[in-house]
Amino acid sequence: MVKGALGRSLRTAALCCATVLAPVAARADLLIENVTLIDGTGAAPLPGASILVKGDRISLISPSAIQHGGGVEVINGKGKYLIPGMMDTHIHLQRGVIRGANVPNDMTLTTEALHGYLYSGVTSLMNYGGTEFIFPLRDEERAGKIVSPRIFSSGQSLAVHGGYGDGPGSILIDDWAKAKPEMEAHYKKWKPDIQKVLIDRHGVFTPLDKVPTIENLRDALQVSNEHGVRTTVHAASEEDYELSLAAGIDAFAHVIRYPASDRLIARLATKQIPMSTTAVVFEYIARIADDTTFLDEPLFKATVNQEILGLQKADERTRYINSKMSAQYQSMRAMVPTNAKRLYDAGAILATGTDRTWGPTLHMEFALMQKAGIPPAAIVKMATLNGALYIGRQKDLGSIERGKLADMVLLTADPTKDVKNLQAIEAVIKDGKRIDLKKLNVPANKQTMAK
């Protein structure tokens, strides 16, 4: 806090030398000074910067000091790095239960997962599915009733009879006369942030050759857009990607998991359609069969409770092995990072996403992208501004620019040198307010309290 006398002397100085000093801040809420700013746009880091937040928005960015009056919370950023809040553009938030495990069905695990994301520096989440559960939770988040990253979500998916995702969670668009009013009612009731389409003609285990016709898909995407809803697709094969592109999809929920032609890579880059990377879902499920040690890494221990980690190493691991999912994902484990690097080189918009349910997996995703040869500075942009582009909220989120919502993370190490440094989190700011990381409901804090 600025002391009264100091505040007054600064104001006096500002009055006498107004022509040479940076603008004066009045009644500001938060000032981060002398920090290296990495703004998320891909611009070169700016050392010695000051960022002033008023209310929930970024009000001023200066390459030097900003004079200020009293009533400002000042964060000294010397030797530190300020980035926009990170985003996971593909998650499935668990409703208090981990599939296949005998744990209580209450909101504890959901709260822990949300707090774990904040602890991991994640301030925006794009969730898929879980309509009745997720939209009330989103309402609570938007009303400021819960401590949580921003929640964005799809509701029911679009699929076809006999195709991938044919089931109670989906609206089946091949029966268009029935599907169209269903979609409209769904949008009216829940106002989803995105519409997910499921197209996967090969399936993971068995061929599911039913996919929508291009006319059918085009009609459906049009209805979504007319209701202000962006569209994304779980597509798998090259044909699935081509069909989605031809029908006018707005985003892709995965990077292609099969060998892809140069032609498709070029088209995806030219069209500038954001893609969620999701390499870690394949890495996680393939790797857990013969190596569970990644679940012992510090960020997992800090944010996911031991019981759940134990179940991942036992029940979930067995399920992945027995279902042959681990074996099936071995080839995709290498293919997705390879394709991500090709897309990056071609100039496509990649947004980091995990298809998982915990904050630490996003940091695994960053490591996989770096290992694939994407420079760490580019990964920072993938985790921030590109995430906002994916969600369609780039006007308000994703970068540290004047007028945007103040979602930011202060790091003690340089993330443009190594994405590991994205875990060196000192402060997380959402909506201009500093989150009290010590009060989050995560194992790290319980361990401290137990000592």
* Interface contacts to Zn ion, rule CB under 5 A: 355
In whole angstroms, the minimum distance from the beta carbon of 359 to Zn ion comes to 16
The SS3 of residue 249 is coil
Q: Which is nearer to Zn ion, 283 or 355 (CB)?
A: 355
Instruction: Give whichever of 141 and 355 is closer to Zn ion, judged by the CB atom.
Output: 355
To the nearest whole angstrom, how small is the minimum distance from the Cβ of residue 357 to Zn ion?
Answer: 10
Give Cβ neighbours of residue 258 (< 8 Å, ≥ 6 apart): 236, 237, 238, 332, 335
Of the two residues 34 and 328, which places its CB atom closer to Zn ion in the complex?
A: 328
Q: Which is nearer to Zn ion, 39 or 355 (CB)?
A: 355
Q: Which residue has the tokens 């915990």?
A: 358
Q: Smallest distance, Å, CB 18 to Zn ion?
A: 55
- Least Å distance, CB 276 to Zn ion, is 9
Beta bridge partners of 409: 83, 428
Number of other CB atoms surrounding residue 450 within 10 Å: 7
Residue 365 CB, nearest approach to Zn ion (Å): 13
Q: By C-beta, is 286 or 405 nearer to Zn ion?
A: 286
Whole-number minimum distance, CB 233 to Zn ion, in Å? 11
Question: Please, what is the Cα angle at 44 between 353 and 88, to 5 degrees?
Answer: 10
Q: Which two tokens stand for residue 12?
A: 């006096």
Report the nearest approach of Zn ion to the CB of residue 266 (Å). 26
Between residues 231 and 305, which has the closer beta carbon with respect to Zn ion?
231
Helices 325-346 and 359-371, packing angle to 10 deg: 60
Long-range contacts of 412-416 (CB under 8 A, 24+ apart): 412/79, 412/80, 412/81, 413/81, 414/36, 414/45, 414/81, 415/38, 415/81, 415/83, 415/376, 415/377, 415/379, 415/380, 416/38, 416/45, 416/375, 416/376, 416/377, 416/380
SS3 64: coil
Closest distance to Zn ion from the beta carbon of 226 (Å)? 25
Minimum CB distance to Zn ion, residue 236 (Å): 12
Backbone angles phi, psi at 60, to 5 degrees: -155, 140
CB of 287 to Zn ion, least distance (A): 18
Strands (E), 94-173: 122-127, 150-153, 157-159, 170-172
Choice between 281 and 383, CB closer to Zn ion: 281
Phi-psi region of 278 (alpha: psi -120 to 50; beta: other; left: phi over 0): left
Q: How far is the CB of 114 from Zn ion (least distance, A)?
A: 18
Report the residue closest to Zn ion, judged by CB: 355
d(CA 212, CA 209): 10
Q: Which of 263, 236, 248, 233 is CA-nearest to residue 342? A: 263
Shortest Å, Cβ 222 to Zn ion? 24
Q: Give the number of other Cβ atoms within 10 Å of residue 44's Cβ.
A: 10
Confirm if 342 and 77 have CB atoms less than 8 A apart: no
Give the residue with the Cβ less far from Zn ion, 29 or 355.
355
Contacts of 36 by beta carbon, 8 Å cutoff, 6+ apart: 45, 46, 47, 48, 49, 77, 80, 81, 82, 414
Report the relative pairing of strands 30-37 and 73-76 from DSSP bridges: parallel
Residues β-bridged to residue 61: 51
CB closer to Zn ion, 62 vs 157? 157
Nearer residue to Zn ion within complex by CB, 88 or 355: 355
Pairing assessment for the beta strands 275-276 and 350-351 based on DSSP bridges: parallel
